[in-house]
Chains A and B, each alone.
Chain A
Amino acid sequence: MTERRPDRDAVGRLIELAGPRPRPNAEELDRLKTAGRDLWRASLESRRGQSPPRIDRPPRRTPARRWLALAAILVAAAGLVFLLRSTVRAPVLGEIVVDTGDTERVGAPVRTGNVLEVGAGDVVALSFGDAQVRLDADTTLRVEAADRLRLERGAVFVDADRRDGALAVVTELGRAVDVGTRFQVGYRAGEMSVRVRAGLVRLEASPGESADGDATEVVGAVEIGAGRGASLSAVGNLTTFVDDGWGEAWRWIETASPGFPLASASGAGLDAVLRWVATETGWRLRYADPDLASRAASIRVGGSLEGLSPRDALAAVTAAAELEWRVDDGVLWIEPPK
């Protein structure tokens, strides 16, 4: 048994019990310091932007011959910089599939570092890995990484239902991270809002992104399930609310829909089309009777649904199948003809 020393105190006992603080392995520490330096330098570069080197004319007179030689060197150097920049490309993370403001952008790749600006009255949709991301009008979205999007203003909708791995939407106030979800994030007038249609989203006020001024620093997280939303103000107040997942706040998402997801919609089952409509609108699909449900599975859709919005597609296929439809409190009812 250890002899008790007369000058021991509680703090001393705690530190003795805990033992020395472990030092990282020297090799690992060196690697981390080196990698950290590269990351730090890269962050400085990205903040400085991509502006080309500026060439200042020296004040004193220089013989013309020297000017020509200098100009030749600089042109060669600028060319090399351009060549290097054009050969070292960020990886492709997705593709623009809908752009109502500039149809020539459809098909363009989306890479790390890209900033997507959507003007008033337009919408954009991207395929992003196995997720789909839609941008509302007046939105600026920066693609930071394969699993992180920065919403600088506006609103984005994320359908990450089929995605493997979390996708975070980050604003100045915090981040929303999906857990296999369909949700939208808005950042307007200094307030961040999250609405969840399906799945679960974790909303975090990130460290270093707390409010300015005298506001209490917000550090915490809340999980938001389907049918609920939350808004986070710049001063750190969080309000949760019920969200139906299909109301007016969700309408813009339909206008950015890439359309029925088959290369050729002809021959698709009616039931598949109706389920797609329900997914796009947030409605719950119900058939008036079980026979109708069986019939919908066996009816094939003729013609193309290309370019049709979910509601237009609904009208077209039900008319062709001689069925009626109505929406009542978020439920899409499919009924036999009157």
Chain B
Amino acid sequence: MDARAQRDAPGSGTADLRLVERLLAGEESAYDAFAESFIPKLYRFAQSRASRSDEVEDIVQSTLAVAFEKLPGFRGDSSLLTWLCGICRFEISNRRRRAGRSPEVSMGVDSELLDLIERLHDDAETTLDDLQRRELRRSVHDVLDHLPEHYARALEWKYLHSLPVAEIAGRLELGDKAAESLLTRARGAFRDAFRELADSTRADSSRVVSFPGAESGAAP
């Protein structure tokens, strides 16, 4: 994959804005690209957070309805996927509230857990309890979904399918050295995103989140 394709891959800032422009212009091929790239990720995001599995499809559909209405307001301040997940998160919490369920409290993955994992030996699985494993899985999948797709695929090919670098290079239409370099960059991007997720999880853990610059004062 050449540099231009990487730059234009979904997840990159300019690519997201370009896709939104084309969606607003009514290009059917833009919707096809959007659906292919974003609906499975949105589905995973909702599936890992919904109270009931039979709600996931509804949640995603409601999210899409709101997203298409608000699409003219997307300015690229965040990635399109982050923006969509924000809407999805609101839909999920709205459903919880309507159903009288308490708000979701996520343990998240903090940086201490990340450090622990770095020191773990092969019996890592036995030292994580069910909740930790579930949170870990959700966090890792969230991070992979937010990486450029060729990064996520390269990492999965290497670590889940144990493909040799030569085969990964072939699938990405790169030379071996370029593929090695891409894997290094992908690992770095994953590590950065994972730490950022850990930090934001800690900051988000209270029920009321303050805006920057919030202060109390007399009524205007």
User: Which chain A residues have a beta carbon within 8 Å of chain B's beta carbons?
Assistant: 1-4, 9-24, 28-29, 31-33, 35-37, 39-40, 42-44, 47, 144, 165-166, 172, 177, 179, 193, 204-210, 212, 216-223, 229, 231-232, 236-243, 247, 249
Q: Ordered nearest first, which 3 A-B pairs have the shortest CB separation?
A: A207-B86, A18-B140, A43-B68
Contact of A177 with B94 in the complex, beta carbons under 8 Å: yes
Contact of A208 with B219 in the complex, beta carbons under 8 Å: no
CB-based nearest B residue for A179? B97
- A23 — which chain B residues lie within 8 A by C-beta? 40
Say which residue of B82, B120, B220 sits within 8 Å of A13 (CB atoms). B120
Contact of A14 with B140 in the complex, beta carbons under 8 Å: yes
We find that the number of chain B residues with CB closer than 8 angstroms to chain A is 76
**From residue A45, how far is it (CB to closest CB) to chain B in Å?**
10
Say which residue of A36, A217, A220 sits within 8 Å of B61 (CB atoms). A36
Contact of A207 with B141 in the complex, beta carbons under 8 Å: no
Contact of A223 with B208 in the complex, beta carbons under 8 Å: yes
Are A17 and B125 CB-contacts (below 8 A) given A32-B43, A37-B31, A222-B210? Answer: yes
| Complex Cα–Cα for A39 and B63 (A) | 10
What are 24 A-to-B residue pairs whose CB atoms are below 8 Å?
A11-B155, A14-B194, A17-B133, A20-B156, A21-B156, A24-B39, A29-B39, A32-B39, A33-B35, A36-B61, A40-B31, A44-B24, A177-B94, A193-B220, A207-B86, A208-B74, A210-B75, A212-B75, A237-B214, A238-B214, A239-B214, A240-B214, A241-B220, A243-B219
CB-based nearest A residue for B84? A207
Contact of A4 with B121 in the complex, beta carbons under 8 Å: yes
Contact of B43 with A29 in the complex, beta carbons under 8 Å: yes
- A217 — which chain B residues lie within 8 A by C-beta? 77-78
| Complex Cα–Cα for A223 and B136 (A) | 30
The answer to whether B57 has its CB under 8 Å from any CB of chain A is yes
| Complex Cα–Cα for A19 and B48 (A) | 14
Say which residue of A13, A33, A222, A239 sits within 8 Å of B39 (CB atoms). A33
Contact of B209 with A172 in the complex, beta carbons under 8 Å: no
Say which residue of A33, A209, A240, A249 sits within 8 Å of B216 (CB atoms). A240
The answer to whether B23 has its CB under 8 Å from any CB of chain A is yes
**From residue B71, how far is it (CB to closest CB) to chain A in Å?**
7
Are A17 and B155 CB-contacts (below 8 A) given A11-B187, A209-B70, A239-B214? Answer: no
Contact of A206 with B61 in the complex, beta carbons under 8 Å: no
CB-based nearest B residue for A193? B220
Most A-side CB within 10 Å, residue of B23, B35, B213, B219? B219
CB-based nearest A residue for B61? A35
**From residue A337, how far is it (CB to closest CB) to chain B in Å?**
36
**From residue B68, how far is it (CB to closest CB) to chain A in Å?**
4
Say which residue of B77, B191, B216 sits within 8 Å of A241 (CB atoms). B216
**From residue A243, how far is it (CB to closest CB) to chain B in Å?**
5
| Complex Cα–Cα for A9 and B38 (A) | 29
**From residue B13, how far is it (CB to closest CB) to chain A in Å?**
13
Contact of B191 with A39 in the complex, beta carbons under 8 Å: no
Contact of A239 with B215 in the complex, beta carbons under 8 Å: yes
- A19 — which chain B residues lie within 8 A by C-beta? 137, 160
Most B-side CB within 10 Å, residue of A17, A39, A206, A232? A17
- Among B28-58, those with CB < 8 Å from A are 31, 35, 39-40, 43-44, 47, 56-57
- Among B162-214, those with CB < 8 Å from A are 187, 190-191, 194, 207-214
CB-based nearest A residue for B118? A10
- Among B134-162, those with CB < 8 Å from A are 136-137, 139-141, 144-145, 152, 155-156, 158-160
Contact of A17 with B44 in the complex, beta carbons under 8 Å: no
Contact of B211 with A17 in the complex, beta carbons under 8 Å: no
- B65 — which chain A residues lie within 8 A by C-beta? 39
| Complex Cα–Cα for A131 and B172 (A) | 57
**From residue B50, how far is it (CB to closest CB) to chain A in Å?**
13
Contact of B57 with A28 in the complex, beta carbons under 8 Å: yes
| Complex Cα–Cα for A249 and B219 (A) | 10
Contact of A22 with B128 in the complex, beta carbons under 8 Å: no
**From residue A14, how far is it (CB to closest CB) to chain B in Å?**
5
Contact of B40 with A208 in the complex, beta carbons under 8 Å: no
Additional 18 contacts, C-beta under 8 A, given A1-B122, A204-B90 = A13-B120, A15-B140, A18-B137, A39-B65, A39-B68, A40-B64, A43-B68, A206-B70, A207-B82, A208-B71, A218-B211, A219-B86, A222-B211, A231-B220, A236-B213, A238-B210, A238-B211, A241-B216
